[in-house]
Each structure stands twice: as C-alpha cells, then as structure tokens.
C-alpha cells in the first residue's frame, strides 16, 4: 500500500541529530509525531553486550534493555539506560542520577499506552515496580503507583466495594491510570481518588488532595505539571456495594467480546471526539478500515480503535497506519482524530509537546 506522509521527514539521518546536552531531565512523551522515524536504520545503541552501572543500590543497564519488552504493543529498540525501582526512595535516587548526569528520563508502568521507536530511546527508562497495597480502613486503599490497576479493580470488588469495576481488564498501573485518568463504562479513575503522593523534579515528596487537582476525559493536572517527576502512590476511597463483583464480571465479559484482548495492542489509539456523539471506533469502522494493514500493523477486525501488532510491526508501520487512519477519517468525515497513545521519540529532549 502506498502511503503519503502528512508530516515532514526532516530527520532522516539520526546520527546527525544527536541531542545537544540536555538542560531538562524530564523527558515528556509527545502527543504525536510530526517527524518520520528513519526507515531501515539500526538502533542507536548496540545491544550486544550488557553493561551495568551501580549507583546508590540501583543497577542501571546500558544499551541492552529492549523497549518492546516493556510495552504491550511489543514495539521498540534498546534504551540507553534502564533501571527498575521498587520503592519511592529508589525512584528518587534514579531521578537524582539522571539529573546529576543530565540524562533525559521517563517513568513508565506497564507500557500499555506507549509507542516506542525501533531506534530505541536515548535516555533512561525508569520502570515503576512500586507495588505495595495498604488497606487504610474499609474501602480505603493506598496503592503504590506500580500496583496493577487491574488487580486493584478486582480485589476491591471482591471485598465488596464499588468504584473500580471498570479497571478489570485494563493492563496499566495505578500511576498510569491516574496520569491518564483511565476510564471505561461510565467510570473514571479520578472519581474515586482521595489523594495522590508525588515526587517532584526537585526531589521532594508531596501529597496532593483530589480537590486541588483537575481531571477530564483522559486528562489530568499531571500532564501539565512542570515539576512532576512521578506519581508514587494513590489513595482511593470506595463505597460499599453488594453488586460490584457481579457488575465487574459483566464488564469483563463485554470487554472480552468487543476488544482484541489476546492481541498486542495499546488499547484505544485515538480519543473519542468530544461532543460529536460518535466514537473514534465508529468513524474508523465506517471509513472501511477494519483489517487494513501496513507491514505488521493492522486495524483490528474486532474493534476499529485498536491497532494491533501481528508480531512483526515496526514502529514506522504503526506510525504509518496511525497517519493513514487519521487521513482517511478526515477526508471522509472531516473529523481530526487525536491520539490517546503516547509516542516516544528516540532523540528528542524537549519540555512539552502541544497536545
Ligand atoms: N481503558 C482501557 O481499556 C485501557 C486503558 N489504558 C490506559 O493507559 C494507562 C497506561 O498505564 P500504564 O501502562 O501503567 O502506563 P504507561 O507505562 O503506558 O505510561 C504512560 C505514561 O503515563 C505516565 N506515567 C505512567 N506511570 C506514571 C507514574 N507513576 N507517574 C507519573 N506518570 C506516569 C508517563 O508519562 P510521562 O511520559 O509524562 O512520564 C508515561 O509515559 C492505563 O492505566 C489506562 O489509562 C491502556 C490500555 C487499555
Ligand atoms: C480501550 C480503552 O478504553 C475504551 C473502553 O475500554 C471502552 C469501554 O467502556 O470505552 C471506550 O471505547 P469506545 O468508545 O470505542 O467504546 P465501545 O463501546 O467499544 O464502542 C463505542 C461505539 O463504537 C461502535 N464501534 C465499536 C467498535 C467498532 O469496531 N466499530 C464500531 O462501530 C460501537 O458499536 C459503539 O456504538 C474507551 N475508549 C476511549 C477512546 O474512550 C482505552 O482507553 O485504551
């Protein structure tokens, strides 16, 4: 299939665009690329041999960890630095290390909303494994941001509390779900949050009350917070309910029937258009794009807003398919779809991308 790129291709040779020494250390993911990642390029970092650097009880793996193993899409080359954190003090140390050595970094959970590039990532990927759970009082849970959101949803329903039924089947972490304000079936993460503990880029811990934060459809104050390093824990307050478990099982059944849960995806790729009364999936479906593929990337036959990796998709295949879907939907319906997933450019070190 011949594809026309709607975006410029100025960054053809990655070796010419290694970053200037970074001045900022928090690497923001971008809403979507205006560049094409170079074709047929080899990854930035050799992954032939493992090198590690130890720092304050943390082990940084150099050039070895493949991002495809850290994302549900299963796409992405090696990252320059990789470190796992199991406690908030580890997270703080990892951030201090990155700041000390001017290394751009990102904090990720289950990588269920991320598109990484085959070229890799010229920075540090901090994998959040802070997965404690505290029961503060009946129905009040304080979860580490690396705790599985799915698991929190099912255990709270099993214990007779309502509010997180929708979380069953969502493959992210508590931190990712809070940052994105994950939602489904009329429920949203923000509705049941009481407070959130964060660490700032200056290295301070802070507790923020829900009332002081703004959440919207797939958006949160955190997406615009300049000094957010990471969310470390979230406290949820849920109500008693005798029917939460039953409701959750129904939702899970519906999800399994309507979404390609056994394929490699990043959930919905596009946000639903606001105030149009039509979903992104419906537009893509009506544009006749189900089953349309580029390389190893395909529009799911089960749910049109899921673009699946058949096992051989490159990041460029996926970027091309995203561009194609946007283009076709725009020419047929005049609607500009907006990506929900986040793309990580291998080299860019910038503050914020306009969403
Ligand atoms: N409704 C559904 O069926 C589905 C929903 N999803 C959504 O995607 C979310 C992604 O979760 P997850 O896989 O864990 O996240 P990811 O690992 O995909 O990370 C996505 C982004 O979230 C931000 N983030 C993640 N963890 C933290 C944290 N502890 N503190 C601050 N920012 C954080 C980061 O932004 P930055 O780059 O700025 O650091 C990161 O780039 C899900 O919880 C859900 O909202 C995904 C699939 C299906
Ligand atoms: C998967 C995600 O979240 C999902 C969440 O799981 C589901 C369930 O509530 O509701 C949203 O999907 P959605 O808006 O596509 O909901 P669905 O109920 O599946 O479909 C909406 C409408 O589109 C139609 N539809 C759906 C799929 C399809 O291939 N074709 C089609 O026409 C359906 O018939 C329905 O009338 C969330 N997506 C967004 C972008 O808001 C995610 O965020 O990653």
If you count DSSP H runs as helices and E runs as strands, how many of each does the chain have, helices first?
Answer: 6, 21
- Structure ipTM: 0.93
Q: pLDDT digits over 324-345, tens only?
A: 999 999 999 999 999 999 999 8
More confident residue, 317 or 22: 317
Give the count of beta carbons closer than 10 Å to the beta carbon of residue 83: 24
Query: Residue 146: which residues within 8 A CB-CB, separation 6 or more?
Result: 85, 86, 109, 128, 129, 130, 131, 173, 174, 175
Which tokens is 206 given?
């802070």
Closest ligand to the CA of 124: 1
Question: Is the CB–ligand 2 distance for residue 194 below 6 Å?
Answer: no
CATH top-level class for 54-128? alpha beta
Report the alpha-carbon distance of residue 164 to residue 177 in Å, rounded.
Answer: 11
Q: Residue 178, SS3?
A: helix
For residues 62-89, average pLDDT:
95
Contact 165, 244 (CB under 8 A): yes
268 lines ligand 2 (CB under 6 A): yes
- CB of 64 closer than 6 A to ligand 2? no
Instruction: Find all residues with CB under 8 Å of 42, minimum gap 6, and list them.
Output: none
- Ligand nearest to the CA of residue 91, numbered in listed order: 1
Residue 265 has pLDDT above 70, yes or no: yes
CB atoms within 10 A of CB 55: 14
Residue closest by Cα to atom 37 of ligand 2: 184
- The answer for residues whose C-beta is within 8 angstroms of residue 195's C-beta and 6 or more apart is 207, 208, 209, 210, 234, 235
Rounded to the nearest whole angstrom, what is the distance from the C-alpha of residue 186 to the centroid of ligand 1?
A: 19
Are 231 and 175 in contact, with CB atoms under 8 Å apart?
A: yes
pLDDT score of 172 more than 80:
yes
Q: Which residue, among 64, 62, 171, 81, has the nearest Cα to 127 in the 3D structure?
A: 81
Assess whether pLDDT exceeds 70 at residue 132.
yes
Query: What local confidence, expressed as pLDDT, does residue 49 receive?
Result: 55
Domain segments of the chain as ranges? 54-128, 133-244, 269-339
Q: Choose among 214, 264, 253, 281: nearest CA to 110.
A: 264
Beta bridge partners of 78: 66
Residue of the CA atom closest to atom 4 of ligand 2? 184
Closest residue by Cα to residue 26 from 354, 355, 348: 348
Q: Residue 170 corresponds to which tokens in the numbers above?
A: 């969502």
What is the mean pLDDT of the segment spanning 136-160?
A: 97
CB atoms within 10 A of CB 216: 12
Per-residue pLDDT at 48 exceeds 50:
yes
Q: Which residues line ligand 1 (CB under 6 A)?
A: 28-29, 106-114, 128, 145, 149, 170-173, 175-177, 179-180, 182, 184, 230-231, 267, 342
Ligand 2: residue whose CA is nearest its atom 7: 184
Q: Is 315 left (phi over 0), alpha (psi -120 to 50) or beta?
A: alpha
**Tokens, residue 235:** 């406290």
pLDDT at residue 78 in the model? 95
CA of 113 from ligand 1 middle (Å) equals 6
Determine whether the shortest distance from the Cβ of 279 to ligand 2 is under 6 A: yes
The predicted structure's pLDDT at residue 3: 31
Q: How many whole angstroms separate alpha carbon 70 and alpha carbon 129?
A: 12
CA gap 328, 202 in Å, rounded: 44
Residue 170 CA to ligand 2 centre (angstroms): 13
The pLDDT mean for the chain works out to 86
Query: Which 8-state DSSP code applies to residue 238?
Result: -
pLDDT band at 314 (very low <50, low <70, confident <90, very high): very high
CA–CA distance, 226 with 121 (Å, rounded to integer)? 21
Residue of minimum CA distance from atom 22 in ligand 1: 176
Question: 192: how many CB neighbours lie within 10 A of its CB?
Answer: 22
- CATH class of the domain comprising 133-244: alpha beta
Of ligand 2's listed atoms, the one at least distance from the Cα of 290 is: 29
Q: What is the pLDDT of residue 62?
A: 92
pLDDT of residue 179: 95
Region 108-132: mean pLDDT is: 95
Give the span between the Cα atoms of 191 and 237, in whole angstroms. Answer: 9
Contacts (Cβ under 8 Å, ≥6 apart) of 204 = none
The Cα–Cα gap between 78 and 341 comes to 20
Q: Does the structural domain 269-339 have CATH classification 3.40.50.720?
A: no
């Amino acid at each position: 299939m011949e594809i026309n790129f709607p975006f410029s291709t100025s960054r053809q040779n990655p070796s010419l665009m290694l970053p200037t020494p970074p001045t900022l250390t928090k690497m923001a993911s971008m809403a979507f690329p205006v560049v094409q990642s170079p074709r047929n390029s080899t990854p930035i970092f050799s992954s032939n041999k493992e090198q590690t650097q130890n720092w304050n009880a943390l082990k940084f793996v150099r050039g070895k960890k493949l991002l495809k193993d850290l994302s549900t899409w299963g796409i992405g080359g090696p990252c320059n630095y990789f470190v796992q954190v199991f406690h908030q003090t580890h997270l703080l140390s990892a951030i201090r290390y990155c700041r000390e050595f001017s290394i751009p970094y990102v904090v990720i959970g289950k990588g269920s909303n991320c598109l990484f590039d085959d070229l890799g990532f010229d920075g540090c990927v901090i994998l959040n494994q802070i997965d404690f759970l505290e029961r503060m009082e009946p129905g009040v849970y304080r979860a580490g941001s690396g705790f599985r959101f799915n698991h929190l949803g099912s255990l709270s329903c099993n214990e007779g509390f309502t509010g997180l039924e929708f979380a069953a089947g969502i493959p992210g972490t508590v931190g990712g779900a809070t940052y994105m304000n994950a939602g489904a079936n009329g429920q949203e993460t923000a509705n049941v949050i009481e407070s959130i503990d964060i660490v700032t880029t200056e290295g301070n811990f802070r507790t923020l009350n829900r009332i002081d934060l703004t959440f919207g459809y797939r958006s949160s104050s955190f997406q615009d917070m300049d000094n957010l390093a990471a969310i470390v824990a979230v406290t949820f307050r849920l109500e008693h309910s005798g029917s939460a478990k039953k409701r959750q099982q129904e939702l899970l059944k519906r999800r399994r029937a309507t979404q390609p849960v056994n394929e490699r995806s990043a959930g919905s790729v596009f946000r639903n258009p606001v105030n149009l009364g039509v979903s992104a999936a419906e537009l893509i479906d009506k544009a006749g794009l189900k089953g349309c593929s580029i390389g190893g990337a395909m529009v799911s036959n089960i749910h049109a807003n899921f673009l699946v990796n058949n096992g051989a998709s490159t990041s460029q295949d996926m970027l091309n398919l995203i561009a194609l879907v946007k283009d076709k939907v725009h020419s047929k319906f005049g609607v500009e779809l907006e990506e929900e997933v986040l793309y990580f450019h291998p080299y860019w070190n910038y503050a914020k991308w306009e969403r």
